[in-house]
Amino acid sequence: MGGFFPDEIIDEIKDRNNIVDIIAQYIQVKASGGATYKALCPFHNEKTPSFVINSQKQIFKCFGCGEGGDVIGFIMKMENLDFIDAIKLLAERSNIHLEELNNSEELKKDIQQKVLYFDIHKKAAIYYYNNLTKGKNPALNYLSKRGLTPKIIKSFGIGYAYNSWKDLMNYLVNEGYQIQDIEKCGLILKNKDGTDYYDRFRNRVIFPIFDIRGNVIGFGGRVLDDSLPKYLNSPETPVFNKSSTIYGLNFARKHITDGKIILVEGYMDVIALCQRGFNNVVAALGTSLTKYHAQILKKYSSEVIIAFDGDEAGIKATLRSVDIMKEVGLNCKVLLLPSNKDPDDFIKEMGKYAFQNQLDKAVSPIDLKIIQAKKKFNLDKPEGKIDFVKELAEILKQIKSPVEREVYVQKIEKEIGVSQQAIHMEIYGNKGTTPFDKNPKYSSSYKRDNKYIEAVPPVEQKGHLTAEKQLIKLMLVKPDVRPLIIKKVQPEDFSLGKHQIIVEYIVDHYQWGPQEIVKGLPQLQQDIENILQIDIEHINIAKTLEKYVVNMKRFKLMYQAKELQHQQKVLKENKKLDQEEVEKELLKIGMEIVRINTEIQRLQL
């Protein structure tokens, strides 16, 4: 393929390789609000994250060492590749088969063909727009009645296809385009006997469909009478794929300031909301949302608010979309408009601020499922409550976070009067076990020694216990340092029994956060909350851990020496034993004490 990679191929590779997802394959990335993510820079040593990723702009920048660029630049630097090999690697990861284009000439031909199709679509869009705006016509009357202004019509390039069989075809042929190319763009069709062609779109309002770079790649047409289908889209072509195209994204991506996108069902919803100031709105072209749609949305947003119609079909589409977004790890909420109105009708009747108020009240997917479940049952009757709780249990099982699940259980108890214990029994079985452990080893009554703390000199006890608590807090609030600490110390190494329980619980529940740990150890709740109040902002993890490990070894040795001294005392006081054997044993113990004291002195140096 040589060194020839056209801009279109490069853009497609960038589009299919979300920079956050790619970088997260190499280093740990954390969300930092909106479209921003942070990490420790992989290109230089640092302790405080200065490596910033912008998922909206699809770029990275390290404010420590100055490295920056796009996803291709990151791969070049990280994998030590040149530009061509980085392109090939990313193409392979995103299933773009560059090997199918055997040489640069074939690739150039493919690109030239696509550029031709873009030109044809652009010409058609201008033609349709001129049809609409050059004089009175049924389409302009329709759009005026829908409340659209000339400005918004121009912004979206809305047009009109005459009620004629060959107007567009004749126009494009006169512009110098070949019939075969116009057909490949899906703008004309062959008649039944294959002897002639006619326009696909006739007597329709025309909505141009743009790709992310602003190229016209297809059209949607709405009828002006009662004929069917009501909406008609361009067919699949070399430049148009419904499953990977999102209407309005070329406009919306420039206005996603808070990381949120509003997803609606159709063209008019997008346009009506944009006209009233909501510019972060997109639609999935009247088709069901696909996984690839969701992956594209994830590139540009951190949260999607689904605003589909409130009828039965709209709710079903919403629930399907929720599951798809969950599959790709995209957060979402659901807008529930009163009286099952669609966004277009609601904002025209109620206005911008009322719509914003509804957006602010968007519910979580779990809330939506609970609301829908409530509608199915009569909660005034016992059997209705029973059936509702059974369905509720299946919904709550989908929640990974035990704390979030408990919040919903408490909420439902207040709303319908069924006890939390009964709901737990429905979710977890007849034992009613909560997601929090009832293992006796975590119980406060489970015997745990305070181990060697008694051997620690009183003057050092406070400092040693403070270090223990600092390490425990680090494990509680910073899961990424847990492996480092666990590698150095074990739960049984901690000096207090309750500290051992907490650390062992954290190790056994590796993915849980601090509040889940607190919930799981109610008998030690106050101790954990006290530990969480400790200031660790300015501690050096590595130095603190190293110092603690040294002291732990030293205090363990002190404990062992104390135990041996106790053995010596017991032997001396037991007059029934053979004194010669006692002397031998005392000498042996004494030598061990000397060895331990020598080791203690070495650790103190």
pLDDT tens figures, 16-32? 899 999 999 999 999 88
Q: What is the pLDDT of residues 222-245, one digit of tens each?
A: 999 878 888 899 999 999 988 889
Confidence of residue 104 (pLDDT cuts 50, 70, 90): low
pLDDT of residue 362 exceeding 90, the answer is: yes
Q: Which of 62-71, 121-130, 434-443 has the highest mean pLDDT?
A: 121-130
On the CB side of 167, CA atoms within 13 Å amount to 13
**Residues 319-331, mean pLDDT to the nearest whole number:** 90
Query: Comparing C-alpha atoms, which of 349, 483, 427 is closest to residue 28?
Result: 483
- Return mean pLDDT, the chain: 84
The arithmetic mean of pLDDT across residues 583-603, rounded, is 81
pLDDT of residue 446: 53
Distances from the Cα of 484 to the Cα of 36, 50, 479, angstroms:
27, 22, 10
The whole-number average pLDDT for the span 140-164 is 95
Query: Worst-scoring range by mean pLDDT, 42-51, 245-254, 436-445, 457-466?
Result: 436-445
Above 60 in pLDDT, residue 605? no
509 vs 219, 408, 444, 480, 557, CA distance in Å?
53, 22, 18, 14, 31
Report DSSP state, residue 440.
G
- Residue 131 clears pLDDT 80, i.e. is over it: yes
Task: Write down the pLDDT at residue 185.
Answer: 96
pLDDT in tens, 538-550: 777 777 778 877 8
Q: What per-residue confidence (pLDDT) applies to 543?
A: 79
- CA–centroid distance for 105 within its chain: 41
Local confidence band at 431 (pLDDT 50, 70, 90 cut-offs): very low
pLDDT tens column, 272-308: 999 999 999 999 886 688 888 998 898 888 899 999 9
Distance CA 64, CA 67 (A): 8
Within 10 A of 396 (CB to CB), how many other CB atoms are there?
23
Q: Are 533 and 518 in contact (CB under 8 A)?
A: no
pLDDT score, position 301: 86
Percent of the chain topping pLDDT 70: 90
pLDDT surpasses 80 at 101: no
Tell me the pLDDT band of 107, cut-offs 50, 70 and 90: low
- The partner residues of 159 in beta bridges, in order of sequence, read 206
Distance CA 595, CA 563 (A): 14
Instruction: Write down the pLDDT at residue 553.
Output: 78
Rounded-to-integer distance, Cα 299 and Cα 328, Å: 11
Listed residue (340, 333, 371, 337) closest to 354, CA to CA: 337
pLDDT of residue 283: 94
pLDDT at 261: 94
Better-scored residue on pLDDT, 103 or 297 = 297
Split at pLDDT 50, 70, 90, the class of 459 is low
State the pLDDT at residue 382: 85
pLDDT-derived band at 174, boundaries 50, 70, 90: very high
pLDDT of residue 1: 38
* pLDDT (0 to 100) of residue 128: 97
pLDDT (mean) for 524-544 = 83
Share of the chain above pLDDT 90, in %: 34
The pLDDT score that the predictor gives to residue 544 is 76
Q: What is the tens place of the pLDDT at every residue in 380-420? A: 888 888 899 888 888 888 877 766 777 888 888 888 888 87
pLDDT reading at 55 higher than 50: yes
**Average pLDDT of 106-132?**
89
Q: Is the model more confident about 90 or about 187?
A: 187
Residue 428 pLDDT? 67
Bigger pLDDT: 323 vs 582: 323
453 falls in which pLDDT band (50, 70, 90)?
low
In the sheet with 331-334, reading across from the earlier edge strand, the strands are 281-283, 260-264, 303-306, 331-334
Q: Which of 9-23, 72-86, 259-273, 480-494 has the lowest mean pLDDT?
A: 480-494
